[in-house]
């Protein structure tokens, strides 16, 4: 795909949704961090249901640490891998309290030192909370990037680096949200809704067999 096509694609995304945002519900950077940790291999809707009960009770590193492992598990038990996630969240809370004055850091290396926080989670926090240019490539973005030919890559890191290189600079800050929403609701995994797609005429997946 050439750069002129990419520019038109992202201009359409912006026109359709000028201020895209994550579908995770949060009111602070810490709440966002916890929600993103919980969202691994889980749906945003499922996470939102759990955090709607958890956050009114505990939504700071201190309050979640005080809640303890067993009580935390009771709030997030509807979420996949909740046992491991609960342990990571408790450990993360203690690190934030002891090393960062209970403030979520805005530096990638410090974020990735937190249990349960990998590159993708760090990218979401950096981009969504701190408005840094970062590309958190999940299954949706990986699929859309390769299927449309916006950015080809054999793994998420390749796609991440390619997207950061080829997306026009004026669209980079919000590109993560546009791509994930497009993959979630239009360019879906099993049966993409090509007839309802705003970039169908630009997509290079047309007339190709499903991957």
Given 73, 85, 120, 162, which residue is catalytic?
Answer: 120
Q: Is 138 annotated as catalytic?
A: yes
Rg, C-alpha atoms of the chain: 18
3-state SS, residue 12: helix
Series of mean pLDDT values for 10-residue runs along the chain (211 residues): 95 97 97 97 95 97 97 96 97 98 97 96 97 95 97 96 97 97 95 94 71 43
Which of 204, 189, 177 lies closest to 21 in space, CA to CA?
177
Q: Which architecture, in CATH terms, is 29-128?
A: Orthogonal Bundle (1.10)
201-208, long-range: CB < 8 A, 24+ apart? 202/1, 202/5, 202/8, 202/9, 202/148, 203/147, 203/148, 203/149, 204/1, 204/148, 204/149, 205/147, 205/148, 205/149
Given 138, 154, 161, 169, which residue is catalytic?
Answer: 138
Where in the chain do CATH 1.10.340.30 domains reside?
Answer: 29-128
Q: Which residues contact 14 (CB under 8 A, 6 or more apart)?
A: 171, 174, 178
The confidence score (pLDDT) of residue 130 equals: 97
CATH code assigned to 3-20+135-196:
1.10.1670.10
Q: Which two tokens stand for residue 57?
A: 């009770």
Where in the chain do CATH 1.10.1670.10 domains reside?
Answer: 3-20+135-196
Could you tell me the pTM of the whole model? 0.91
The confidence score (pLDDT) of residue 34 equals: 98
The confidence score (pLDDT) of residue 210 equals: 46
């Amino acid at each position: 795909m050439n750069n002129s096509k990419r520019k038109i694609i992202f201009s359409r995304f912006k026109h359709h949704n000028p201020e895209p945002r994550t579908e995770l519900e949060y009111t602070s950077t810490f709440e966002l961090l916890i929600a993103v940790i919980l969202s691994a291999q889980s749906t945003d809707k499922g996470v939102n249901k759990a955090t709607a009960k958890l956050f009114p009770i505990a939504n700071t590193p201190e309050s979640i640490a005080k809640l303890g492992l067993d009580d935390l598990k009771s709030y997030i038990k509807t979420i996949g891998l909740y046992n491991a996630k609960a342990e990571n969240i408790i450990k993360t809370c203690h690190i934030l309290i002891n090393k960062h004055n209970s403030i979520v850091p805005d530096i990638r290396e410090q974020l990735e030192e937190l249990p349960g926080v990998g590159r993708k989670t760090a990218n979401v926090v950096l981009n969504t909370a701190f408005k840094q240019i970062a590309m958190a490539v999940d299954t949706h973005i990986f699929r859309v990037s390769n299927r449309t030919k916006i950015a080809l890559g054999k793994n998420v890191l390749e796609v991440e680096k390619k997207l950061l290189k080829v997306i026009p600079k004026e669209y980079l800050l919000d590109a993560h949200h546009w791509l994930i929403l497009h993959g979630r609701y239009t360019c879906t995994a099993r049966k993409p809704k090509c007839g309802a797609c705003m970039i169908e005429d630009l997509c290079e997946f047309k007339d190709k067999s499903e991957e």
